[in-house]
């Protein structure tokens, strides 16, 4: 097969591993910087160009679209879908998962466990919003943050009010969430391929920090997840429409709660914690699933 990887940098661990895994299995791989893809969107013959060449003949595309280029990246991916290239994750599913509020609403609709979460526009509603999620301590998040940046723990009512008002004053979209203290600064990353959790790891925040992101100094270790956690993670990815996803869970007193669903989960942490060839499993998934024009949301995105 001929596989395109949409990635801005060939040297990133995840990209390198995907190239390796695909070539080992006899596939041809091209890494395309999504910001250097340009498109002709005429209805008769839509096309994608890269450095002067028409990108034809691809069987599958693996999107590794960074949070900062979601808008343009999903447009390029949509164009691949229009010309019938099989996307490992669809553009629509990626857009859904990138918006924390939208994705929590989709998860709630499916009855999936979530931390109590509130959202408001007007500073006049802040008091009641804080009450609604059970008061301080609480977590405040920028809707489009990533890698733990834009996630704040407000220990007291006063701190919560001033942080929320400050964000609102900056016109930043935020959500306010129950703080799951019993998680003890740890979360569980479940790596999903198709409808299975193929690997999982526990991430523990460093001392004095509640955010377990590896980018924030968290450390990863192997963990055995419960059947309930496994099914929660699978349902979360499915409700987003993602084939490959990193579902992050917290262990709360009321069972597993989903914090977020990542559409481009990194491979380095999970491969080293689990010792598994996750990149190889993604390529095998493509071998099983890729068919021309096999995109569920064609025309609707």
Stretch touching ligand ADP by CB under 6 A, among 7-15, 40-48, 177-185, 221-229: 177-185
What's the CA gap between 30 and 53, in Å, rounded? 13
Q: Does 261 bind ligand ADP (CB under 6 A)?
A: no
Shortest Cβ distance from residue 127 to ligand ADP (Å)?
20
Does the protein bind ligand ADP through residue 180 (CB under 6 A)?
A: yes
Q: Does 213 bind ligand ADP (CB under 6 A)?
A: yes
- In sequence order, what are the residues at sequence separation of 6 or more whose Cβ sits closer than 8 angstroms to the Cβ of residue 183? 250, 251, 252
Q: Which stretch binds ligand ADP (CB under 6 A): 36-44, 52-60, 87-95, 173-181?
A: 173-181
Select from 8-16, 27-35, 128-136, 137-145 the region that touches ligand ADP (CB under 6 A): 137-145
Contact 244, 172 (CB under 8 A): no
CA distance 276 to 241: 24
CB 281 within 8 A of CB 265: no
Contact call for residues 146 and 70 (beta carbons, < 8 A): no
Q: Is 145 in the site for ligand ADP (CB under 6 A)?
A: yes
In DSSP terms, which residues pair with 37 in a beta bridge? Answer: 50
Of 86-94, 143-151, 227-235, 270-278, which segment contacts ligand ADP by CB under 6 A?
A: 143-151
Which one of 87, 115, 118, 269 is in contact with ligand ADP (CB under 6 A)?
115
Distance (Å, whole) CA 198 – CA 192: 6
The one among 17, 98, 202, 211 contacting ligand ADP by CB under 6 A = 211
Closest distance to ligand ADP from the beta carbon of 209 (Å) = 9
Q: How is residue 187 annotated by DSSP?
A: E
- What letter does residue 186 receive in the DSSP assignment? E
- Are the beta carbons of 262 and 97 closer than 8 angstroms? yes
Report the residue from 147, 162, 226, 296 that binds ligand ADP according to the rule CB under 6 A: 147
- The piece of 45-53, 58-66, 190-198, 206-214 that touches ligand ADP (CB under 6 A) is 206-214
Q: From the CB of 151, what's the least distance to ligand ADP, in Å?
A: 4
- Give the relative orientation of helices 91-98 and 100-109 as an angle to the nearest 10 degrees: 100
Candidates 122, 55, 89; CA nearest to 301 is 89
Binds ligand ADP (CB under 6 A): choice among 90, 260, 271, 277: 260
Of the candidate residues 229, 248, 271, 277, the single one contacting ligand ADP (CB under 6 A): 248
Sheet of 138-142: strands edge to edge?
117-118, 174-178, 138-142, 151-154
Of 79-87, 140-148, 238-246, 281-289, the segment contacting ligand ADP by CB under 6 A is 140-148
**Of 63, 148, 256, 266, which lies in the binding site for ligand ADP, with binding defined by CB under 6 A?**
148
Shortest distance, CB of residue 114 to ligand ADP, whole angstroms?
9
Bridge partners for 260 per DSSP = 248
Euclidean distance between CA atoms 74 and 113, whole angstroms: 28
Write down the residue that tokens 């407000």 correspond to: 154
Binding residues for ligand ADP, rule: CB under 6 A, are 115, 139, 141, 145-148, 151, 177-180, 183, 187, 205, 210-213, 248, 250, 259-260
């Amino acid at each position: 097969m001929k596989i395109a990887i949409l990635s801005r940098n060939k040297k990133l661990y995840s990209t390198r591993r995907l190239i390796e895994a695909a070539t080992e299995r006899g596939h041809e791989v091209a890494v395309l910087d999504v910001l250097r893809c340009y498109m002709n969107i005429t209805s008769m013959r839509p096309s994608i160009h890269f450095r002067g060449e028409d990108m034809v003949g691809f069987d599958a595309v693996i999107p590794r679209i960074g949070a900062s280029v979601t808008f343009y990246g999903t447009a390029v991916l949509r164009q691949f879908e229009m010309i019938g290239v099989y996307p490992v994750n669809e553009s629509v599913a990626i857009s859904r998962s990138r918006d924390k509020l939208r994705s929590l609403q989709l998860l709630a609709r499916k009855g999936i466990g979530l931390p109590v979460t509130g959202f408001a526009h007007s500073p006049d509603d802040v008091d009641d919003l804080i009450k609604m999620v059970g008061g301080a301590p609480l977590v405040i998040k920028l809707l489009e943050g990533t890698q733990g940046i834009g996630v704040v723990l407000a220990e007291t009512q006063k701190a919560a009010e001033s942080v929320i008002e400050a964000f609102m004053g900056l016109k930043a979209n935020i959500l306010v969430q129950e703080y799951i203290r019993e998680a003890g600064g740890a979360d569980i990353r479940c790596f999903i391929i198709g409808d299975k959790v193929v690997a999982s790891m526990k991430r523990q925040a460093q001392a004095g920090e509640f955010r377990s992101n590896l980018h924030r100094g968290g450390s990863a270790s192997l963990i055995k997840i419960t059947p309930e956690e496994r099914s929660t993670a699978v349902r979360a990815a499915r409700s987003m429409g993602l084939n490959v996803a990193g579902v992050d869970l917290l262990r709360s007193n009321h069972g597993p709660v989903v914090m977020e669903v990542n559409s481009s989960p990194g491979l380095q942490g999970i491969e080293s914690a689990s010792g598994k060839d996750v990149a190889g499993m993604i390529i095998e998934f493509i071998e099983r699933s890729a068919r021309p024009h096999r995109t569920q949301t064609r025309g609707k995105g």
